Amino acid sequence: MSINLVILAAGKGTRMKSDSAKVLHKVAGAPLLIHAMKAGTSLEPQNIVIVAGHEADAVSAAALAYDESAQIVLQTEQKGTGHAVLCTKDALQGATGDLLVLYGDTPFISPETLDTMRSARARFDVVVLGFEAADPARYGRLVMDGNTLERIVEFKDASDEERDISFCNSGVILCSTAHMFELLAQVTNDNAGEEYYLTDIIGLARAAGLSATAVACSEAETMGVNSRTDLAAAEAAFQARARADALEAGVTLTAPETVFFAHDTYIGPDTIIEPNVIFGPEVTIENGAHIRAFSHLEGAHVSRGAVVGPYARLRPGAELSENVHVGNFVEIKNATLAEGAKANHLTYIGDATIGEGTNIGAGTITCNYDGVFKHHTHIGARAFIGSNTMLIAPVSVGDEAMTATGAIVNKDVPDGALAISRIPQDNKLNLARKLFDTLRAKKARQQNEDE
C-alpha cells in the first residue's frame, strides 16, 4: 500500500523562548523537522506534505532543502491537530493509499516502528502508535480490548480507572487517505480549547464500524521537544544511541561520552576516535582511519588509513585520500589531499588540490581569498612545501617541486623546480647589543619616573 506522509510543523514553540519555529531547532546538527522527515521517507511515500505556520518561509526552506518534492501547506490559524491535517486535503486531492501523520517536534520515531505500523494496517483500518509511559502524567490513554483500540481518552476526561492505564497515545496515526478525510470532516471543536483534535477520529471510526489498533514502541521514540530542556535531553538521547551504534559497528571510541555525532555521520569499522571529537553534518570516515583528540569535522570525507589531528579542523569540501596525515592546528577547506600527502602542523589549506606524497611544511597558507573571489592552488605529486610558505592563489606548484622556507609564491613553479622568494639576509654587526642597551636604558628611566 502506498503512503502519503503528512508532518505537522506549524507550532510556535512558545516555551523555546525563540523567534524561530520550534521544528527548526537542531538535534545532532539537523532541524527536528528533518529527523521526522528522515523517518517518514523510509516508507518511500508518494507524497510528502509539511503543514507550516509560524515562520512558514524558514520551515519551507528547511523541508525543501532536504526533499525538494515536499509540498508545503499553511495552517494560518492554530485550530488543533485535526484541523492541521485537514489543511492538507487539497494538496492530497486524488491521492490513493494510506496517510501517515507525524510531528515535526518528535524526532526519534524509528523506521522500524513505522514499518510495524504499516504491517498492522493490513489487518486494521486505523493504526495508532502508543507507548508504555513510566509516568503517564497527562498523556492521552489508549483504551484497548485485546488488540482492538476502542478509544483515546484525554487525561482530563478520563475516569480513575482509565487514568490507571499506562499505555499512552503518541499522536501518530496511520489509516487510508480516504478514511482520514472522511473522519476529520466529522470532528467538532466542542471542547475547552475550541480545537479540532486528530485523536477524535478513533471514536468516530469505531462508531462507523471501522477497526482500530495500537502498535507499541519505546517511550524514548516518542520524545517530544517543547522546551530548551527537552532539546538538551533529545540531544543527549541521540548522542547516547549514536555512540552505542558506533561501538557496535566496530568503531573504537576511547572516551565515548566526549564524542559528538551529527545525524548523518558515517564511520567505518576499525576507525579510532579519540576524546573530544565533534562531527558536524555530512562526514564520512572510511575503515581504519584515526581521528585524534579535539578535532572538528564537517562536510568532510576521510579515507582508509588517514590520520586527522589532534586539534585539526576539516571544513566542508575536505577530501582526504588514503594514508593522508593532517596534524595539529591544521585547517582544510574545499581541498583534496591525494594518497600519502601530509600537512602535519600549523597550516591552512583552502580551495586546493594536493598531489600524492606531497609534504606541506609548518606555517604554510594557501592565500585563496582576494576579498571578493576565492582562487585555487594546485600542488603536484611528491612536492615539498617549505615551512612558512605563502601560496598566492591562483598558483600551481609542479610535481617534485620545492619551495624554500619563508617563500612567497605568486608565480607557477615548474616540475622539479625550487622556488625561492625572500629578502636577502643582512647581518648588522653589534646592532643587537646597541638596540638592547637603548631599550633597557629607556625602561630604567620609565621605572625611575614611576617611583
Question: Per residue in 78-89, pLDDT tens?
Answer: 899 999 999 999
Find out whether 362 is annotated in a ligand binding site: yes
Domain boundary residue, one of 222, 246, 267: 222
Q: What is the DSSP string of 293-348?
A: TT-EE-SEEE-TT-EE-SS-EE-TTEEE-TT-EEEEEEEEEEEEE-TT-EEEEEEE
Asked whether residue 263 is assigned to any structural domain, the reply reads: yes
Residues 26 and 124 in one domain: yes
- Please give the average per-residue pLDDT across 179-188, as a whole number: 95
Find out whether 347 is annotated in a ligand binding site: no
The backbone torsions φ and ψ at residue 279, rounded to the nearest 5 degrees and listed phi first, read: -105, 120
Reported pTM = 0.90
Residues 171 and 300 in one domain: no
Residues 248 and 185 in one domain: no
**What is the dihedral angle through the alpha carbons of 329, 335, 338, 344, rounded to the nearest 10 degrees?**
-10
Asked whether residue 264 is assigned to any structural domain, the reply reads: yes
Distance between CA atoms of residues 396 and 355, nearest Å: 11
Residues 340 and 354 in one domain: yes
What single-letter amino acid sits at 97?
Answer: G
**What is the dihedral angle through the alpha carbons of 12, 14, 16, 17, rounded to the nearest 10 degrees?**
110
Considering its fold, how many domains does the chain have in total? 2
Residues 40 and 110 in one domain: yes
445 SS3 class: helix
Domain range for 275 is 228-419
Asked whether residue 390 is assigned to any structural domain, the reply reads: yes
Distance between CA atoms of residues 167 and 163, nearest Å: 10
Tell me the CATH number at 151: 3.90.550.10
Domain boundary residue, one of 222, 254, 269: 222
Domain boundary residue, one of 196, 222, 248: 222
Asked whether residue 371 is assigned to any structural domain, the reply reads: yes
Asked whether residue 269 is assigned to any structural domain, the reply reads: yes
Q: What is the distance of C-alpha 400 from the center of its chain?
A: 40
pLDDT in tens, 274-283: 999 999 999 9
Please provide the average confidence, as pLDDT, over all residues in the chain: 95
Distance between CA atoms of residues 94 and 414, nearest Å: 66
Residues 187 and 283 in one domain: no
Asked whether residue 151 is assigned to any structural domain, the reply reads: yes
Residues 235 and 363 in one domain: yes
Residues 249 and 361 in one domain: yes
What single-letter amino acid sits at 205?
Answer: A
Find out whether 387 is annotated in a ligand binding site: yes
Residues 173 and 55 in one domain: yes
What single-letter amino acid sits at 276?
Answer: N
Q: Is the pLDDT of residue 154 over 90?
A: no
Residues 201 and 99 in one domain: yes
Residues 249 and 164 in one domain: no
Find out whether 427 is annotated in a ligand binding site: no
Tell me the CATH number at 266: 2.160.10.10
Distance between CA atoms of residues 105 and 30, nearest Å: 12
Find out whether 348 is annotated in a ligand binding site: yes
Query: Any idea which residues carry the catalytic annotation?
Result: 345
**Longest CA pairwise span in the chain (Å):** 105
Find out whether 435 is annotated in a ligand binding site: no
Helix 32-41 vs helix 111-120: crossing angle, to nearest 10: 50
Place of cell 583528540: 293
Lowest mean pLDDT among 6-15, 356-365, 428-437: 6-15
